[in-house]
Every structure is written in structure tokens, then in C-alpha cells.
Amino acid sequence: MMVKRYNDLNTYLRSLFGCRVQKITVDAGLSCPNRDGTIAIGGCIYCNVRGSGTGAHTRGLTITDQILQGKQALLRRYKAKKFLAYFQSFSNTYAPVDTLKKLYDEALAIKDVVGLSIGTRPDCVDQSVLELLQDYAEQHLVWIEYGLQSAKDKTLEVINRGHDVQCFEDAVRATVNRGIKICAHVILGLPGEARSDMLHTAETISDLGIDGLKLHLLYVISGTPMEALYRQGKYRCLEQQEYVDLVCDFLERIPPGMVIQRLTGDPHPEELVAPDWSRRKTETLQKINETLEKRDSWQGKFG
Ligand code: SF4
């Protein structure tokens, strides 16, 4: 049996709760300042109008509906006993704090929901939001997931991210020591980035007291500015082994205790333009494990 060479989310959650815990993705119908015109209209160049979401809110499903449906499916599939409500679509702290409280309260009122995971931008938090999350964190597991994507300002400009690295660092500093767990999102394969840029991102997040990481492959989805770049031959997607090697390099350079929440993205099959191999998630994860094994390496080896 292959030994896990990184600190994966399932093992971490099992160690906290003593059972299988699964995240249920929730679409709360919020927006994003990088799409609604506050910062920009087009959004990040790889993002489409769904903002990485499920579209469940547009289909009229409440948070309760979504969580109850998710519970049933995850109970069947994984025999999960406890759940985290994962507010994923768009920016989930981008609303007045009273509105946010109602949304989070609704999720936490459901039986066996033991915590929250809130995906957002680092420019969408302030003291009042952090105080609200700090209150929840006294009784629940609370993760905030900040999109960084790259620790290189030039790249953030190219992808039209609408904030810089300093903004991310400020948000992290404002969040630490509140009992809130912090997860950083990073994308490998962004336009113009060399391996050294991606490893610089690994070093940057390692020094900030971040608790978790989601690594994503940059894949091209339809209807985005990335699709135009790709079709004009101005962007080359990473090959599968290239990505696998970068993930291993990245893992080697971050602290061993950082919780790895994701090691590759999950494209919607009908929206994916390229690369085709990104549909084969299990195979990619297997190759990451095999490559770490071959290198006799592990998360934090050089961290
Ligand atoms: S911050 Fe997120 S939702 Fe907003 S444009 Fe970028 S990827 Fe899309």
C-alpha cells in the first residue's frame, strides 16, 4: 500500500472528528467585486460567469436545500457522518455582515454540519467579517479560503486578479490568531510563470502562518479570456507530468503541517477546452503519489 506523503484533508478531518467528514458545496448567490464592476467587469481571465460555482442558487435552491441534498449524496458515497458547509461560488464574504451571518447561521443550523469553509478574495474581508468568523470558530471548525493564485504581482496583473500580493498578506495577517484556519489557493501554470515563480509562491505562503493549501491546475474553460489566448496560440497548457512534477516541487517546499485540501482542479467536463488530461483527476493524484515515492520525498522535505 502506498504511504501518504502529504498531510491530506480527509486524514486531518478524521483526526479532529473521529469520522469521515465531507465538504458540501454551497452556492449562496453572492457576487464578486472583480465581476460586478466594483474592481472590474471581466473577472480573472480564467473565470467564467459561474465563478467556479454550482449554479444551485440560480436554480432556486436555498442553502438548506443544497446542504440536505449534499448530505444524502455524501452519506451514500462516502458514508460521511459530519459535514462542512463550503461556500464556494464567487466571493463569500462579499456582502454586509448581517447578510453573511444569516447565510452562515442557516448552514450551521443543520444537523451534523460541524463547520464552515468560506472561499473569498483577500480584498473582501474587514474587521467585522473576521470578528463574525472568530465568534463561530469558538464552537465550530472555520476555514477561510483566500485566493492568492501567485505571489508575483506581474502575474496577478496579467490574470486581471484585481489585487496584489500585499493585499493577500495583509488579509492573512488580519486573520491569524483568531482561531480561524486559513487556506491559500494557488494556481500552477499561469501565463508567463516559470517554475521559479511557482516555487517563490510556495516560499511566500510558507512564511505567513497559513494552515492549508489548495493547488489548482490552470485549465482553459470556454467563454473566458483564457480560451481566446489559448486558441490564438498564446498560451500552452502544462503537460500532465510537468504539472505532477511542479506539485511535488511545491509540496517539498511548504511546511509539513499545512493541510492539503486539493492537489488539482475539477473542471466541469462540458466547459473544458484544454488540457484533456485534466479530466483524469484520479490518475493525476496517483502520479503525484508515485512521483513523491520515486523521489523518496514528502511534504516539507525542503520547507
Ligand atoms: S475572484 Fe473568483 S469569482 Fe471573482 S473573477 Fe476571480 S475567479 Fe471569478
- Å from CA of 161 to ligand 1 middle: 8
In the predicted model, is pLDDT for residue 175 greater than 70? yes
pLDDT digits (tens, 9 = 90+) for 70-116: 999 999 999 999 999 999 989 999 999 999 999 999 999 999 999 99
Mean pLDDT value of segment 216-245: 97
What the block records as the C-alpha cell of 92 is 463569500
Give the percent of the chain with pLDDT over 90.
92
Predicted confidence (pLDDT) at residue 52 exceeds the cutoff of 70 = no
159's CB contacts (< 8 A; 6+ apart) are 44, 45, 46, 149, 150, 190, 191
**In this structure, which residue's CA is closest to atom 5 in ligand 1?**
43
Q: Which pLDDT does position 57 carry in this prediction?
A: 77
Residue 1 in this model has a pLDDT that exceeds 80: no
| Residue whose CA is at the smallest distance from ligand 1 atom 2 | 90
Q: What is the pLDDT of residue 60?
A: 84
Q: Is the pLDDT of residue 47 over 80?
A: yes
What is the atom index within ligand 1 of the atom nearest the CA of 91? 3
**pLDDT value of position 48:** 84
Atom of ligand 1 nearest to the CA of 48: 8
Give residue 303's pLDDT. 72
Coil, strand or helix at 133: helix
* Cα gap 258→75, rounded to integer Å: 27
Q: Is the CB of 287 under 6 A from ligand 1?
A: no
Q: What is the model's pLDDT at position 266?
A: 86
Task: State the distance from the centre of ligand 1 to the C-alpha of 235, rounded, in angstroms.
Answer: 20
Is residue 2 very low, low, confident or very high in pLDDT (cuts 50, 70, 90)? low
Which residue, 155, 141, 209, 232, is CA-closest to 186? 155
Q: Which residues of 258-294 are buried (b: 16+ CB within 10 A; e: fewer)?
A: bbbbbbbbebeeeebbbbebbeebeebeebbbebbee
> In the chain, how long is the greatest CA-to-CA distance?
51
Within a 13 Å sphere around the CA of 42, how many CA atoms are in the beta-carbon half?
12
pLDDT band at 31 (very low <50, low <70, confident <90, very high): very high
Beta strands (DSSP E) in the chain are 21-26, 82-87, 113-120, 141-149, 181-188, 212-217, 220-221, 259-262, 272-274
Decide if 85 contacts 108 (C-beta within 8 A): yes
Rounded Cα gap, residues 281 and 211, in angstroms: 24
C-alpha grid cell, residue 108: 450551521
CA of 49 to the centre of ligand 1 (A): 9
**pLDDT of 51:** 52
For residues 237 and 244, give the distance between their C-alpha atoms in angstroms, rounded to a whole number.
13
Q: How far apart are CA 217 and CA 278, in angstroms?
A: 8
- DSSP secondary structure letter of residue 29: -
- pLDDT at position 264 is 93
Mutate to test the pocket of ligand 1, among 27, 38, 88, 90 (most ligand atoms within 8 A of CB): 90
Per-residue pLDDT, 302:
94
Ligand 1 lined by 185 (C-beta under 6 Å): no
CB 148 within 8 A of CB 122: yes
Give the pLDDT of residue 53.
Answer: 62
Output phi, psi for 82, to 5 deg: -130, 160
Query: What pTM, to 2 d.p., does this model score?
Result: 0.96
Q: How far apart are CA 287 and CA 280, in angstroms?
A: 11
Rounded-to-integer distance, Cα 303 and Cα 210, Å: 13
What is the per-residue pLDDT across 253-269, written as a single tens digit (0 to 9) for each? 999 999 999 999 889 99
Tell me how many degrees the CA angle 173-178-126 measures, rounded to the nearest 5: 60
